[in-house]
Amino acid sequence: AQSVTQPDIHITVSEGASLELRCNYSYGATPYLFWYVQSPGQGLQLLLKYFSGDTLVQGIKGFEAEFKRSQSSFNLRKPSVHWSDAAEYFCAVGAFSGTYKYIFGTGTRLKVLA
Amino acid sequence: ETGVTQSPTHLIKTRGQQVTLRCSSQSGHNTVSWYQQALGQGPQFIFQYYREEENGRGNFPPRFSGLQFPNYSSELNVNALELDDSALYLCASSLTSGVTDTQYFGPGTRLTVL
């Protein structure tokens, strides 16, 4: 069965520090992978997506993610975090198994210390 | 260009009642997906509508139903409300129904079932 795991429920980093949010997926075929950000009271905003090709994907707001098939991972990174990055981050996989389905992880809440 | 809008913002219902939530898609988008996001969880895929037809469904019972109208706006109907239906309901529109298409999310409707 398809699934997405985000092992870190909360992460706290200092402003200016680097960030890595982990995501592992389970899916039999080539996955379509996404990272979304959700700020309080807001809907989800797409940061980046991976379908094929270069395994390092660049997104908005200075984020990037690397697809590693051997590790079934799609970790999100940012070299220098800004206070405005404090939010909840969701990894998702798009799957087709007779019907279209999108599966989200449980999210990682990021806190940024000034 | 207006984004995805949802109404109402908040709603309180009692167990056993029925509720209708509404979503206006982004201009030019013919596909809408609905998600349920319980507190502290990631969004769970309810179903997707493409050109007024249900195009995919997650693991939700039949008392969750939907409609998509010719102008591609959409409704989510939930019958016989249960306490566990309390959640943030998100709709997302996309240009087409492809799993690779970017979904644009609305801010959600917060439903509380007492």
pLDDT digits (tens, 9 = 90+) for B73-107: 999 999 999 999 999 999 999 988 777 788 899 99
Q: Cβ contact (<8 Å) for A101 and B58? A: yes
Min CA distance, B52 vs chain A (Å)?
16
CA-based torsion, A97, B58, B23, B89: positive or negative:
negative
The whole-chain average pLDDT of chain A stands at 92
The whole-chain average pLDDT of chain B stands at 93
Q: Cβ contact (<8 Å) for A100 and B103? A: no
Q: Which CA distances in Å does A26 have to A103, B37, B78? A: 10, 21, 30
pLDDT at B6 exceeding the cut of 70: yes
- pLDDT band for A97, please (50, 70, 90 cuts): low
Q: What percent of chain A has pLDDT over 90?
A: 74
- pLDDT band for A56, please (50, 70, 90 cuts): very high
pLDDT of residue B100: 78
Neighbours of A107 (CB within 10 A): 24
Give the integer Cα–Cα distance in Å for A28 and B8.
Answer: 39
Chain A positions in Cβ-Cβ contact with residue B42 (cut-off 8 Å): 4, 6, 90, 92, 104-107
> Could you tell me the two tokens for A51?
């379908």
Min CA distance, A79 vs chain B (Å)?
25
Chain B positions in Cβ-Cβ contact with residue A106 (cut-off 8 Å): 40-42
CA angle in degrees (0–180, nearest 5) for A100-A103-A106: 165
Smallest Cβ–Cβ distance between B106 and the set A43, A104, A106 belongs to: A43
User: What 3-state DSSP class applies to A102?
Assistant: strand
Whether the CB-CB separation of B18 and B76 falls below 8 Å is answered with no
pLDDT of residue A98: 66
Residue bearing the bigger pLDDT, B82 or A100: B82
Whether the CB-CB separation of B69 and B1 falls below 8 Å is answered with no
**pLDDT tens per residue across span B27-48:** 889 999 999 999 989 999 999 9
Residue A8 DSSP class: -
Smallest Cβ–Cβ distance between A107 and the set B42, B55, B92 belongs to: B42
**pLDDT tens per residue across span A11-45:** 999 999 999 999 999 887 778 999 999 998 788 99
Q: Cβ contact (<8 Å) for A102 and B97? A: no
What is the rounded average pLDDT of the residues A99-113?
90
Nearest to B28 by CA among B96, B90, B76: B96
Smallest Cβ–Cβ distance between B99 and the set A94, A106, A107 belongs to: A94
